[in-house]
Amino acid sequence: MIEIVGSKAVAVVNDAGRFGRFVWQTIVASVLSCAKTKTYPLIWAQMNIIGVRSVPIVMITGAFVGMILAVQAYDQLVSMGLEERLGVLINISVVKELGPVLAAVMLAGRVGGALTAELGTMNVTEQIDAVRSIGTNPIRYLVVPRVLACLLLTPALIIYGDLLGILGGYFVGVVQFKINSWAYWNFSAGGVELWDVLVGVIKGFFFGASIAVISCYKGFTCKEGAHGVGQACTEAFVASFISILALDYALAVIFKAIYNTFWSVRSLV
């Protein structure tokens, strides 16, 4: 029993060490690649696959989040006579928390799964070894473009998701529940600060990087065969999902501290 626990613990520590080294190599290669124009077409191609093709799914997710929030919150607010504040509730929830987190989860499923499956298949068919045998760093050629594309485009996708979330909430609130449009926007403008929007967008950089790095790592280390690739995809999604939630919590604490320290006194500065 102790032997089993011990060997599992050693395996976890080994895996953590390998992941840490992979992350470090990715960071170094990303910084170096930024200076090389040869990498730009690869990043551009990945931006199309990862970013552009994810726009519809992220926008649909955002729209439904806004609409569902409106339906759920309306009755509560009406009972208190605060239905005109519906916009504040929806918009602040969407731009600060639900928009970024749900967009990132959608990306972890759509993009993360695809990255792991693609790199995992390349791994088991020796294509990654082929890249190495040609004298090319596979992290620079395969991982960096995907990580940079995810890093740069997740915030942009979050903005799309936020936009549709706001419009979805507006549609249900104003068109379906007949809330006064002017009051809806007026209260929203008073309640949602630029800071709230920024927090959501900045979270996107962290979510995007974590999804890409975890998915690429799982693809690079996947086991032989169809079962190995399938298992790697599942592990990549689960690990990405947990990392999104953990990062969301950590960033919420950090941004709250920053807000309390600096943002509230920005007018004095």
Partner 1 sequence: MMTRRKKRKVKKDDETTEPSVIEGDGIIVIKDLTKKFGGNVVLDNISLTIEKGKTTVIIGPSGCGKTVLIKHIILLLRPSSGEIYFKGRRIDNLNENELYKVRTNYGFLFQGGALFDSLSVADNITFPIRQHYKVKYWSKFDEFVKTKLSMVGLEGFQKFYPSNLSGGQRKRVALARAIALNPEVILYDEPTTGLDPIRSDVINELILKLQRELGVTSVVVTHDMTSAYKIADRIIMLHNGKIIADGNAKHIREHPHPVVQQFIHGQVNEDDLAVLRASGTIFQTQFLPRDFEE
**Residues found near partner 1 in the complex (CB under 8 A):** 38, 121-122, 125-127, 129-130, 132-137, 141
* CB closer to partner 1 out of 29 and 95: 29
* CB closer to partner 1 out of 138 and 169: 138
At closest approach, how far in Å is the CB of 136 from partner 1? Answer: 5
End-to-end CA distance of the chain: 61
Contact 216, 142 (CB under 8 A): yes
At closest approach, how far in Å is the CB of 36 from partner 1? Answer: 10
Q: Measure the CA angle with vertex 48, ends 44 and 50; round to 5°.
A: 110
* CB closer to partner 1 out of 136 and 264: 136
At closest approach, how far in Å is the CB of 146 from partner 1? Answer: 13
Q: Where are the alpha helices (DSSP H) in the chain?
A: 2-34, 40-46, 55-79, 86-93, 99-107, 113-124, 127-133, 138, 144-170, 181-191, 194-220, 225-261
* CB closer to partner 1 out of 45 and 257: 45
At closest approach, how far in Å is the CB of 127 from partner 1? Answer: 5
At closest approach, how far in Å is the CB of 128 from partner 1? Answer: 9
State how far the alpha carbon of 217 is from the alpha carbons of 93, 122, 162, in Å.
32, 13, 29
* CB closer to partner 1 out of 13 and 250: 13
Whole-angstrom Cα distance, residue 158 to residue 244? Answer: 14
